[in-house]
């Protein structure tokens, strides 16, 4: 048994000393493949399909109209504390226009329109106007979310 241990220790020491000589090196291999022909796509003809659907984040995805400057989420009290100073609630029905975007506030939901794109901000949403800013507060069963935006200047 002691012979096996001494022999094993000797092999490990020899391997450690000569580690640069026994290093395994693998060369890169490149395979040349011909490109596949693309399928005919009706969208590539220049017509872009309009987007639509429920999108609580819709205003954040339209940097040509509004730029998001802050986001807060948590309890109602925490989020209300992050409303911009002097924020005044926009009472529905109301229509806001920023650049080529139109926001229609109807009851506790809103509809965002930009060109042929149509988005719905789902219920329990409120909008606020402050000096040079627009705030959107949306309440869900899990939490309350506040996003504050600045209109983009032309």
Q: Which residue has the tokens 């507060």?
A: 137
Distance CA 82, CA 72 (A): 7
Q: What is the pLDDT of residue 103?
A: 95
> Which stretches of the chain drop beneath a pLDDT of 70?
20-31, 38-47, 154
Pairing of strands 52-54, 117-121: parallel
pLDDT for residue 44: 52
Q: Which residues contact 52 (CB under 8 A, 6 or more apart)?
A: 117, 118, 119
Return d(Cα 84, Cα 133) in angstroms, integer. 8
pLDDT number for residue 153: 77
Q: What is the pLDDT of residue 46?
A: 57
- My answer on whether omega of the bond before 35 falls inside 30° of 0, hence cis, is no
């Amino acid at each position: 048994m002691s012979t096996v241990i001494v022999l094993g220790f000797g092999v490990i020491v020899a391997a450690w000393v000569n580690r640069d000589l026994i290093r395994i090196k693998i060369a890169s291999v490149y395979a040349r493949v011909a490109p596949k022909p693309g399928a005919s796509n009706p969208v590539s003809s220049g017509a872009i399909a309009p987007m639509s659907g429920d999108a609580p984040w819709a205003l954040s995805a339209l940097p040509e109209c509004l730029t998001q400057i802050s986001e807060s989420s948590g309890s109602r009290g925490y989020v209300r504390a992050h409303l911009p100073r002097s924020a005044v609630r926009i009472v529905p029905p109301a229509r806001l226009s920023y650049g080529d975007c139109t926001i229609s506030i109807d009851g506790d939901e809103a509809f965002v329109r930009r060109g042929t794109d149509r988005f719905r901000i789902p219920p329990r949403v409120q909008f606020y106007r402050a000096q040079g800013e627009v705030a959107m507060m949306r309440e869900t069963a899990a939490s309350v979310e506040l996003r504050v935006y600045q209109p983009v200047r032309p």
